[in-house]
Structure 1
Amino acid sequence: MSASRRQDREILRLAVPAFGALVAEPLFLLSDSAIVGTLGTAPLGGLGVASQLLTTLVYLSVFLAYGTTAGVARQVGAGNVRAGIRQGVDGMWLALAIGAGVVAVGLPMVPWLVDIFGASPEVDPYARTYLAISLLGVPSMLVVLAGTGVLRGLQDTRTPLLVSLGGFSLNLALNAVFVLGLDWGIAGSAWGTVIAQTASAAVYVAVVVRAAQRHGASMRPDLAGLRTAASAGASLFVRTAALRLVLIVGTSVAARMGDAQIAAYQVGFQVWTLLAFALDALAIAGQAITGRYLGASDAARVRAVTRRMVVWGVGCGVVFGLAILAIRPWLPSLFTSDPDVRHLLLASLLIVAVLQPIAGVVFVLDGILIGAGDGRYLAWTTLIATVVFLPAALTSYWAGWGLTGLWCAIGLWMLTRMVTLGARARGDAWLVTGAVRHPREDVATT
């Protein structure tokens, strides 16, 4: 079997289950929405407000998965599976600590957090109820993120897929019983989700405990390990926050353009998000493979896999772009009968299609550099790309360029990221080999 074929099999072995797990996650809120929708408009609106806050929290905490994946994979590549599991355990303890802090700080702030979204008097009590109960599940939710990172670092993306599917099924069943059967209202939906999240976290803990026992790793929290995990996650948090800012500003600009514009933008962005799941699965494979090979001090293989994964990213992007163009004439009719929204969406989808190959390169290189532990560079360059995006997005509004201008601003943002990530990947500064990437090496190479 050729080297390229072996690389392809390794990439697909990790990426395909990762894609399934990524798609399964949004089904939690989708199933909640379907069941809560039977209660009426106000409860559904309350769920919408609370879920935006919870989704933002999860998005900002994804560093718990990414940072843990990179650290564990590097140790596994170096042959130190015990040390890798120990590092993963520290990540899970950090997740639990952050989750407990969120609960302690967030519960008293529930009324204020809901008010930020300007919920109507009818929607407000439902949003408060759902958010207050759901916050209790945040520690479990964050442990799931860290546990996912541990298993990915151990080159296992199949177990996270199974846990995601099991959690979704349990959440759906409990929501049906609590909301439709026991008539607990929106509180029943929240409790069903909390229980499902807790059960998922328990599965991850059990899997990691079993692995720790098998390799003789301690499950007790280690202060130095917690500091290391927090330090590794700080840069990734900045990177993720900058990405979230772009999404928020994009939605805000579209909303100020008019009702038809925000409607078309939301549909176009959902198409973008769906395709991003597939590209993110490649990025996750890149994290795990890169960390393992760098840990094994095999920089040449990292180079080879990087080139192969970029080919995969471009190839997937081209296929996705062509698929969008193929269904573009009919897609708007699936979402709206408004001729203005359809016209705007048709124009938006052209740009979304063109951007897919660029997005493929960006997602792949982002995942590879995360796997290399190059978080500081990612943080700075993501901030630079965001600074490029913000004036372009605001100009599209002030100059009256409409959604086409806004999507072009997003294209400029992606292009900036591709250039900065590509420049890094062509160099050698990120290729730090060995079991540990020392902080001073990050400083010296940024």
Structure 2
Amino acid sequence: MDQVATGKNALAFEVTHRLVLSIALPMTLAFMTTPLLGLVDTAVVGRMGEAEALAGLAIGAVLFDLIFASFNFLRSSTTGLTAQAFGRRDAHEQQAVFWRAFLSALACGGMMLLLSPILLWLGLKLMGPQGGVAEATRTYFSIRMLAGPAALANYAILGFVLGRGQGHIGLMLQTLINGINIVLAIGLGLGLGWGVAGVAWGTMIGETAGALAGLAIVLKGFSGNPRPSRAELFSREKLAQLFALNRDILIRTFVLLAAFTLMTRIGGSFGAVTLAANAVLMNFFLLSGYYLDGLANAAEQITGRSIGATYRPAFDRGLKLTTLWSFGLAALATLFFLLAGPALIRLLTTAEDVRAAASTYLPWAAVTGLTGALAFLMDGVFIGATWSRAMRNRMLMSFAGYLAALALFVPAFGNHGLWLAMNAFLLFRGFFLAYDLKKRADQTFLAAQ
């Protein structure tokens, strides 16, 4: 039976496979539109026949993503807080959570826009492009940064609709943003011959259109309900809670970026062929991350909602179903990559030496979905429960274990040791959080009663 008994709790709700998939599937599809966008942007500029423009696009996109990936806390914290208010059926607090997140996003986006000349200068110093490459990077980055406030506003909007379990709206908005981006990148970049500038303007317009559409949808849902007062929006207690959540998730994100950056740097020490092979294989982990992220989103919403409703059966059932789907899909993905991996490697690279190296290390990449399944899921649970401090601390512990694994395994086993350490890092993240789960859940539900 795919549901929990509703009992006597007026806020109780059923947790079914359908509920889990109604959140996870749309978000998985939404996440998968992002690499399609990158592929189109690359193809548009690549068809211009200018290697410098293509290199400048790549560098500009990396700089933008590095800066704005650190603001993902705007999405995560909004989802957890909204889900808990949704579970309590507190429509007034849901509005307040949204406006705090939305205004924070606009403020952060405006600050990034003001700092963009400095950020561009630092990025160019860090990446070291010269001549035409630097000019293309400057053009792309400067135009795309105009979308900074809208891009961060989209984080807040996505976090809000996910917190309400509206994965279909999240998919619609991401499809709108990326669809406009793709059409305009082709029309402006190729049709009008604007090249890199056309791609950047397409991104800026897509992000802005998505933010406006998302805001309209959210505001329509608020119609008929009284707005929170300024005192409620800027409550010191609520802002302190939001700041603490965002701080902890930001630290966790930086540590995660550091772990993958370290892997790239160490992989580079083994030579260009090994570095290229690792880059090819990381695509397998990224593919697994799409559905694991989707299921983590489902765990965030169900966890937050069950805590808001003070309904432990929904929490337990949600954990069981998301675990089942996460590990079931991870096992299938591992089998798929082991069997189809050689063919995928041949598709991704034509260099025979890179193909051979990637095939050697393929099993390590193939199992990352399995070793990372618990980590993704526990992140979702802890975000939904707003146990951000514990998540931050367990991430730091996992990173320490990762450093120890690198020191132990890389000198002994080379690149095999590097992949072993990465898989160990994923396992550390999952198990350290899972070990703490029952005690925190017991405390949270007891305190809420």
Tell me the TM-score range normalised by the shorter chain: over 0.9
- Residue 156, structure 1, aligned to residue 166, structure 2: yes
Instruction: Indicate if the aligned counterparts of 1:152 and 1:288 stay in contact, CA closer than 8 A.
Output: yes
CA 1:136–1:123: 2 relative to 1, 3 Å: same
Residue 392 of structure 1: which of 405, 412, 423 is its match? 405
| TM-score, normalising length: structure 1 | 0.92
For residues 364-391 of structure 1, what are the alpha-carbon distances to aligned partners after superposition, in whole Å with 9 as ceiling and x for unaligned?
1110111000110111111111122234
Residue 143 of structure 1: which of 139, 148, 153 is its match? 153
State the distance in 2 between where 1:2 and 1:303 align.
13
Q: Which residue number corresponds to residue 30 of structure 1?
A: 39
1:400 to partner: Cα distance? 6.4
1:410 to partner: Cα distance? 0.2
- Residue 78, structure 1, aligned to residue 69, structure 2: no
CA 1:87–1:434: 2 relative to 1, 3 Å: farther
State the distance in 2 between where 1:435 and 1:120 align.
59
State the distance in 2 between where 1:112 and 1:6 align.
48
Instruction: Indicate if the aligned counterparts of 1:294 and 1:434 stay in contact, CA closer than 8 A.
Output: no
Q: Which residue number corresponds to residue 3 of structure 1?
A: 3
Bigger mean CA deviation after superposition, 100-109 or 193-202: 100-109
Q: Which residue number corresponds to residue 165 of structure 1?
A: 175
Instruction: Indicate if the aligned counterparts of 2:302 and 2:314 stay in contact, CA closer than 8 A.
Output: no
CA 1:50–1:69: 2 relative to 1, 3 Å: same
1:8 to partner: Cα distance? 1.2
Instruction: Indicate if the aligned counterparts of 2:15 and 2:317 stay in contact, CA closer than 8 A.
Output: no
The residue type equivalent to 2:185 in the other structure is N
State the distance in 2 between where 1:412 and 1:122 align.
42
1:47 to partner: Cα distance? 0.8
Q: Which residue number corresponds to residue 260 of structure 1?
A: 273
1:394 to partner: Cα distance? 5.3
Q: Which residue number corresponds to residue 100 of structure 2?
A: 90
Bigger mean CA deviation after superposition, 27-36 or 119-128: 27-36
Residue 276 of structure 1: which of 289, 293, 297 is its match? 289
Q: Which residue number corresponds to residue 67 of structure 1?
A: 77
Q: How many residues align?
A: 436
| TM-score, normalising length: structure 2 | 0.92
- Residue 222, structure 1, aligned to residue 194, structure 2: no
Identity %: 26
Q: Which residue number corresponds to residue 289 of structure 1?
A: 302
CA 1:2–1:274: 2 relative to 1, 3 Å: closer
- Residue 248, structure 1, aligned to residue 257, structure 2: no
Q: Secondary structure at 2:367's aligned position in 1?
A: helix
1:227 to partner: Cα distance? 4.4
State the distance in 1 between where 2:221 and 2:188 align.
35
Q: Which residue number corresponds to residue 181 of structure 1?
A: 191
Instruction: Indicate if the aligned counterparts of 2:96 and 2:228 stay in contact, CA closer than 8 A.
Output: yes
Over aligned residues, Cα RMSD in angstroms? 2.2
CA 1:290–1:354: 2 relative to 1, 3 Å: same
Instruction: Indicate if the aligned counterparts of 1:74 and 1:434 stay in contact, CA closer than 8 A.
Output: no
State the distance in 1 between where 2:129 and 2:226 align.
52
- Residue 424, structure 1, aligned to residue 436, structure 2: yes
Instruction: Indicate if the aligned counterparts of 1:133 and 1:191 stay in contact, CA closer than 8 A.
Output: yes
- Residue 364, structure 1, aligned to residue 374, structure 2: no
State the distance in 1 between where 2:298 and 2:224 align.
25
Instruction: Indicate if the aligned counterparts of 1:89 and 1:219 stay in contact, CA closer than 8 A.
Output: no
Residue 129 of structure 1: which of 139, 146, 155 is its match? 139
State the distance in 2 between where 1:324 and 1:358 align.
14
Unaligned runs of 5+ in 2: 5-13
CA 1:295–1:114: 2 relative to 1, 3 Å: same
CA 1:6–1:432: 2 relative to 1, 3 Å: closer
CA 1:82–1:342: 2 relative to 1, 3 Å: same
